[in-house]
Amino acid sequence: MPITRAVERNSLSLPSSPQKSYNISSHLSTQYEDADSMEEKRPSKRTSDSPRKNSGSVQKNATSASTAAQPSRRQFNHDALPPTRGRSNTDVQSTMSASNNIKQQQANIGGSGSDKTVNHNYHSHPPTGVPSKLKCMLPTTACQPGYVTPSKLFNMMGYGLENQYLFMLAHYLYIIDCRSREKFNESHIITAIHWEDALNGTVYISIVERFSEIILYDDKGIFFNTTTEMRRVYNRFATPGTKACLTLSGGFEAFRTFFPFICTQTDVRSTVDREKFLTIYPSVVIDNQLYLGTGHQATNWKVIRDLKLTHIINISVEHQCVFPDKIKYLHLQLEDMEDVLLKDRFDETIRFMDSAFQNPSNRILVHCNLGISRSTTLILSYLMKTYNATLLEAFKYLRHRRPIVCPNVGFLRQLIDYEFELFSHAYSDPNDPIFH
């Protein structure tokens, strides 16, 4: 990827929707916990793509009619789905409270800061009586334990713990540059601190405990061939009782190749500086191809330009398609409600994406309002169809890249129906806790 501009001043795109309010205060930083390198607890609350418009029963007439037409084909009981929960948008403080219970979520998806490979052999040895299927072909990531890929770090900088705007707080990620001072001053990952400043007590051990992740990087990031400076930093911050440090795979050079717009000469540390200099980007689903994000990101030209987006799938009634002269759109004006028949638009969406990807330089952003339910459902259907993935395989893959994804119960049922259509068997269990 060619080098583009560094992050600009006043480029922050914060939500302007009246239904959300972000009240950020300094005491919240003490509540951070390890989001990827430790096993996570399930959050007690989730956000949704849009304000809840219907908190009634899961059994909606439209969906019931669809499933009733094929009673003999179902090998699972839709009535066994848990009751609908009234999910609603939350502010940062409630999200931070939820983050204290997030460990179990990542444990369920087998994820860690080291960007573990998705288990694509989930159905290689199915139980007796369960038909086998072709191997899942979802992209895998070759990354050693204790390392994090550039795309994983980029996503961590975007999705926060359970809320994408937490990166604005100064104690979310502690990124330490272990290169020379000269190289650091020339360009570094935004918000990074030079290793000499870290060792000289600019940030004390007691404060480091507040961070969710500690990331170290040098020039190349070669596996198990760290520099003397990196070993000194690691030994300082990896003492008993502190968090394990993660190393950036490929180092600064690899990160700058993928994300040059996240590199800067500016020293950005405090919350005030972050609000001036940072832009929150969509999550990478497939490198240099597919992204999942919010409506506000889709209307921010800096995001469009930096990611070199060419196509946008807008599945919302909250946001307009604002760049029709520069971007090719597919606009599905649907709400985040359990009885919306989103499954009827799967084929149309997949054709749109397949057509775009015929040109390797094209890049697609799929968004709804918050990038949690509607857009997640469409991307899951694409991954299932294109990569021969069951719903569970596709969901684990996607949640590892964006932990806040969570289709509503009606969309989940439609995805399980779609799985049956693709593979003539329902491999995924709708009652699996990972979906809820």
Catalytic residue numbers, as ranges:
368
Separation CA 12–CA 278 (nearest Å): 6
Burial class (CB in 10 A: 0-12, 13-18, 19+), 1: exposed
Q: Which residue has the tokens 């952003």?
A: 365
Question: What are the counts of helices (DSSP H) followed by strands (DSSP E) for the chain?
Answer: 16, 12
Rounded Cα–Cα distance for residues 149 and 141 (Å): 8
Question: 5 CB contacts (<8 Å, ≥6 apart)?
Answer: 260, 261
User: C-alpha angle with apex 436: 390 to 339, nearest 5 degrees?
Assistant: 80
d(CA 225, CA 221): 8
- Please give the C-alpha separations between residue 223 and each of 4, 147, 217, 302, in angstroms, as whole numbers: 28, 8, 11, 34
Per-residue tokens: 32: 């951070």
Indicate the angle between helix axes 409-423 and 61-68, nearest 10 degrees.
Answer: 20
Residue 216 φ then ψ, to 5°:
-110, 145
> What CA–CA distance (Å, rounded) separates 256 from 148?
15
Residue among 5, 136, 60 at smallest CA distance from 428: 136
Rounded to an integer, what distance in angstroms lies between the CA atom of residue 1 and that of residue 19? 38
DSSP designation for 326: T
Residues in the chain: 436
Tally Cβ neighbours within 10 Å of residue 69.
8
Sign of CA dihedral 403, 408, 412, 415: negative
Cβ atoms of residues 263 and 189 within 8 Å = yes
Contact 382, 415 (CB under 8 A): no
